[in-house]
Amino acid sequence: MDTLLSLSRAIDAVSRFFGRFIIWLVLAAALISAANAIARKAFNIGSNAFLEIQWYLFGAVFLLGAGYTLLQNAHVRIDVLAGKLSMRTRMYIDIGGILVFLLPMCWFMIEFAWPVVVGAYVSGEMSSNAGGLIRWPVYALVPLGFGLLGLQAISELIKRFAFLQGKAPNPLLHGAHESNEAHDAEHAQALHDDAGEVRK
């Protein structure tokens, strides 16, 4: 398990890198958008390339940030229902969801998108708009983004199994993967809650 947790930490580091990286993509998109608007209004100068790069950057932020979002537990959950379940039950639900839904979806999207990327690269596919950009880089964001999401899903799977074995902090708590200070107390409380439910 220690080796798997080391792998999990390495994956988390990759996700954090992309989380920091996409912040600059947001800034770049905002600056390009502002510059394009000023050029159009003030100087009557426009470019489809400027418009398309904004779409490319938006796609990059959305796709490359998916793994980081999972790391931060910022994805959508049905908290009204989940909050009524024991921590152990929530872990098992997460494990099932990752194995049955998330990882297969990531694999399907990578397998589906990769031939499209290769085809666009080989053919040199360009945007149909005048002055538009080459297409394969934005297509490549799909397998890259889902690859990063799949890696983070593996990390989350490891952390949930480790928590159930008492070897890692609660991964459902924001930032719990970065600090082990409250690990023992959190795990003891979770087991206590489970034991209380069994006695009921």
Helix orientation angle between 136-164 and 48-64, rounded to the nearest 10 degrees: 10
pLDDT bin (cut points 50, 70, 90) of residue 176 is very low
**String of DSSP letters for 111-172:** HHHHHHHHHHHHHT-B-SSTT--BSHHHHHHHHHHHHHHHHHHHHHHHHHHHHHTTSS--TT
Q: Is the pLDDT score of 12 beyond 70?
A: yes
Q: Which long-range contacts (CB under 8 A, 24 or more apart) does 149-152 make?
A: 149/66, 149/67, 149/70, 149/102, 149/106, 150/102, 150/103, 150/106, 150/107, 150/110, 151/11, 151/14, 151/15, 151/67, 152/11, 152/12, 152/15, 152/66, 152/67, 152/68, 152/70, 152/71
The region of weakest confidence among 71-75, 104-108, 119-123, 158-162 is: 71-75
Q: Is the pLDDT score of 149 beyond 90?
A: yes
- What residues does 126 pair with on adjacent strands? 134
**String of DSSP letters for 50-104:** HHHHHHHHHHHHHHHTHHHHHHTT-S---HHHHTTS-HHHHHHHHHHHIIIIIHH
Mean pLDDT of 141-165: 93
What average pLDDT does the structure give for the chain? Answer: 82
Mean pLDDT of 91-115: 93
Per-residue pLDDT tens for 14-65? 999 999 999 999 999 899 888 888 888 877 777 778 888 888 999 999 999 9
Q: pTM of the predicted model, to two decimals?
A: 0.78
Ramachandran category for residue 73: left, alpha or beta (phi over 0 → left; psi -120 to 50 → alpha): left
So what's the pLDDT on residue 79?
64
Q: Is the pLDDT score of 167 beyond 50?
A: yes
Q: Are 159 and 70 spatial neighbours (Cβ–Cβ below 8 Å)?
A: no
